[in-house]
């Protein structure tokens, strides 16, 4: 089977600045106080993902999950190491990323589709399906700056999920929005998984990761701490007892299975 994503000893370094203004920096330096520190958001991480695999990406807040997803997507480049991907990449990395607050939802839909590489012909063919999936009603013609986080997530996910791609990335897409919409998103991602596309899914939800993924990578302070079976990963993170208030439960009928 072909390899979809290869990471070899990748590291991404960021600078943490303690002072913002020129005056603050000048005073701090005069007093001999440090004005910044460097830290590795991702440190010496290596893995291979085969075409069609469904990978869960888990870890505590600040462990580097979103940074790794941005490296895979090409938004960022590693400072060290090599990261290679095969095929077209789509997905939702940040709710409302790329949206212009003064443009309407429908205008941002067209803009975001173009950013994700959707052609005018492809958009025309899928426009009605995207609008129906977002289910924003008349709000679609209102400026996105007036949207709630849940409404931005609806629009962003609706566009991303309809882009033809070989790799689909999803970063906490089920963290916002009401339960019916989260269930609809989960069902759509199950369709992506079953279509043979490569899926990389970031979530803190043990139940959805176990249902969605065949393998899990766990990041710990930027390093790869675990790579293996979803149940073992959940136990490794001590996520064995789920928070039922945040779980998305799908019936057999919703998942397209016979009862």
Task: Tell me if 15 is assigned to some domain.
Answer: no
User: How far apart are alpha carbons 29 and 66 in whole angstroms?
Assistant: 33
Task: Tell me if 136 is assigned to some domain.
Answer: yes
For residue 200, the domain's CATH number is 3.40.50.300
- Cβ atoms of 201 and 54 within 8 Å: the answer is yes
Q: What is the pLDDT of residues 11-35, one digit of tens each?
A: 999 887 666 676 776 766 677 766 6
Q: Per-residue pLDDT averaged across 106-125, rounded?
A: 91
The candidate with the shortest Cα–Cα distance to 42, out of 5, 82, 4, 9, is 9
User: Is 122 or 20 the better-scoring residue by pLDDT?
Assistant: 122
Structure token digits, residue 251: 């019936």
User: How far apart are alpha carbons 162 and 146 in whole angstroms?
Assistant: 24
The residue with tokens 């490794």 is 236
Domain count, the chain: 1
* Global pTM exceeds 0.85: no
DSSP 123-139: HHHHHHHHHHHH--GGG
The residue with tokens 């790579």 is 227
- What mean pLDDT is reported for the chain? 84
- Low-confidence winner among 8-22, 126-140, 188-202 (lowest mean pLDDT): 8-22
Cα distance between the two ends of the chain: 33
- List the domain range (segments joined by +) for residue 191: 53-81+88-246
């Amino acid at each position: 089977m072909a390899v979809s994503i290869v990471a070899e000893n990748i590291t991404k370094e960021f600078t943490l600045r303690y002072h913002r203004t020129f005056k603050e920096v000048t005073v701090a330096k005069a007093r001999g106080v440090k004005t910044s520190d460097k830290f590795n958001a991702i440190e010496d991480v290596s893995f291979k993902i085969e075409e069609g695999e469904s990978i869960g990406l888990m870890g505590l807040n600040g462990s580097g999950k979103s940074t790794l997803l941005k490296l895979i997507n090409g938004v960022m480049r590693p400072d060290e190491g090599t990261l290679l991907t095969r095929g077209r990449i789509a997905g939702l990395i940040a709710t409302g990323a790329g949206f212009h607050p003064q443009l309407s939802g429908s205008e941002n839909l067209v803009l975001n589709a173009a950013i994700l590489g959707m052609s005018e012909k492809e958009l025309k063919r899928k426009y009605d399906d995207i609008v129906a999936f977002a289910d924003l009603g008349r709000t679609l013609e209102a400026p996105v700056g007036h949207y709630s986080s849940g409404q931005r997530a609806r629009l962003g996910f609706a566009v991303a999920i309809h882009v033809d791609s070989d790799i689909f990335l999803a970063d906490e897409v089920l963290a916002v929005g009401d339960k019916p919409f989260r269930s609809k998103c989960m069902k759509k991602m199950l369709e992506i998984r079953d279509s043979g596309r490569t899926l990389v899914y970031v979530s803190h939800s043990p139940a959805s990761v176990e249902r969605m993924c065949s393998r899990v990578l766990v990041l710990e302070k930027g390093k790869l701490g675990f790579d293996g079976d979803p149940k073992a990963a959940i136990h490794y993170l001590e996520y064995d007892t789920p928070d039922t208030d945040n779980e998305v439960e799908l019936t057999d009928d919703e998942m397209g299975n016979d009862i």
